[in-house]
Amino acid sequence: MSTAFEIAKRISFQKQKNYTRFIVRLSIAATAISVAAILLTFSIVNGFQATIAGKVYQFWGHIRVASVSGEALSQDGKTTTAFQQNPAIKTFTPFINQSTVLSFAQDIEGVVARGLPTESQIPFLRKGTGWSTSARKDSLLNEIIISDNIAKKLNITLGATVGLYFLNTGAVQQRKLKVVGIYHSGIEEYDNQFVLVDIKLLQQLNNNKLVEGYSIVLNEDAPIEATTDALQKIMPENWVATSIKNYYPQIFDWIGVQTINRNVTITIMLIIAVINLLTCLFILMLERITMIGTLTALGAPQNFIRKIFLFQASFICWTGILVGTIIGLGLSYLQAKTGWIQLDESAYFIKELPIKMDTVQIISVLIGTAIISYVSFLLPTLWIKKISPAKAIQFD
């Protein structure tokens, strides 16, 4: 064990003056709060971005394949085979979106009927069993899944029969459908607008088996943009593969803004932590100015004296980092398990504050805070060489 470390340990844990003890504790607290705030900021922003993006992807997929002109597409076997053979693609689902009017009792509501294959997964299903599993694959299901927003607005319950009115070639066509499920995405733009029906129903109304496009869901961690570019190279003429981010840029731009907010918050917290540690180290050096003068007079090199205060500052720094890590990770874990912090879903699309902890980010915060702190500690220790031993020994 080095002599500098032993001296630092003795002066750090011996009884100190009241104001010095207060400053040390304040610095530890400021460091702990800064580290906890940074860890919480990362966890919250990660969770927020992943949750909102995940909702959009769950409803629309990661990539949409459609016609350049918006015309209906034939279900090209060569293209769907290419989808199946692409290792990045988890599922692909044909869809049709068609405007319609939903009627129940004396109420009507303009909605968009989203036609999907009945074997596809229903997003955000909250109530009901969904499509009838006993039906044959080639049979048409006269069933509908609506959002809870529409259900509450029109007082529709599970099992009720509603009417859909479609305008096709100048004539109004009506279909009676049974409500077999209620979904809730939390994104009002979707919940107020879309109902889900069997894609064969819309194809029957249109007298063809064409589709509007395909929603493609990728495997976890698959690169969206790279996969989109790869798909575009094999698309038939007039077909285009587009990342869903380009269809809904307003949502993803809003998500991206959170990264800027995160970086600003982290920068402010680091500045606060550094300023407090610098102030604390200056006060500790002023308190030990007589010791500095004595050691200098005895021939101790400046690097030796500098190490003493760097070790002492390290005790404060790492205590603050340890306490801050416990607080930050503890609060993150508590929120992830209990969801005790609630949000306005109409504004944030989610009811509970989401949390997503990343091990690499946690380690980076701890190491980064320590490195920045140590670099900052070097500034006050440069003052040591300006201390005159004769005057320092007389200083009280």
**What would the 3-class secondary structure string for 191-250 be?**
HCCEEEEEHHHHHHHHCCCCECEEEEEECCCCCHHHHHHHHHCCCCCCEEEEEHHHHCHH
Asked whether 278 and 31 are in contact (CB, 8 A), the reply is: no
* Residue 196 counted as domain residue: yes
Model confidence, pTM: 0.81
Kindly indicate the confidence band of residue 385, based on its pLDDT and cuts at 50, 70 and 90.
Answer: low
* Residue 296 counted as domain residue: yes
Q: Which of 214, 233, 264 is the last residue of a domain?
A: 214
Whether residues 26 and 114 fall in one domain: no
* Residue 99 counted as domain residue: yes
Residue 297's φ and ψ, nearest 5 degrees, are -65, -30
Kindly indicate the confidence band of residue 82, based on its pLDDT and cuts at 50, 70 and 90.
Answer: confident
Which pLDDT value is given to residue 394? 55
- Sequence letter at residue 312: Q
Asked whether 303 and 295 are in contact (CB, 8 A), the reply is: no
Which pLDDT value is given to residue 131? 85
Which tops the pLDDT comparison, 131 or 390? 131
Domain count along the chain? 2
* Residue 65 counted as domain residue: no
Which pLDDT value is given to residue 22? 76
299: left (phi over 0), alpha (psi -120 to 50) or beta: left
* Residue 176 counted as domain residue: yes
* Residue 289 counted as domain residue: yes
Report d(CA 78, CA 115) in Å as an integer.
Answer: 22
- Least confident range from 157-166, 233-242, 245-254, 384-393: namely 384-393
Which pLDDT value is given to residue 17? 56
Whether residues 258 and 377 fall in one domain: yes
Whether residues 271 and 209 fall in one domain: no
Asked whether 125 and 77 are in contact (CB, 8 A), the reply is: no
Whether residues 267 and 387 fall in one domain: yes
Question: What does DSSP say about strands 239-243 and 171-183: parallel, antiparallel, or unpaired?
Answer: unpaired
- Sequence letter at residue 288: R
Domain span including residue 111: 93-214
Which pLDDT value is given to residue 229? 92
Whether residues 50 and 102 fall in one domain: no
Residues 325-355: pLDDT tens digits?
999 999 999 999 998 889 888 788 888 899 9
* Residue 149 counted as domain residue: yes
Report d(CA 396, CA 393) in Å as an integer.
Answer: 8
Whether residues 259 and 315 fall in one domain: yes
* Residue 219 counted as domain residue: no
Whether residues 39 and 143 fall in one domain: no
Whether residues 41 and 101 fall in one domain: no
Whether residues 385 and 256 fall in one domain: yes
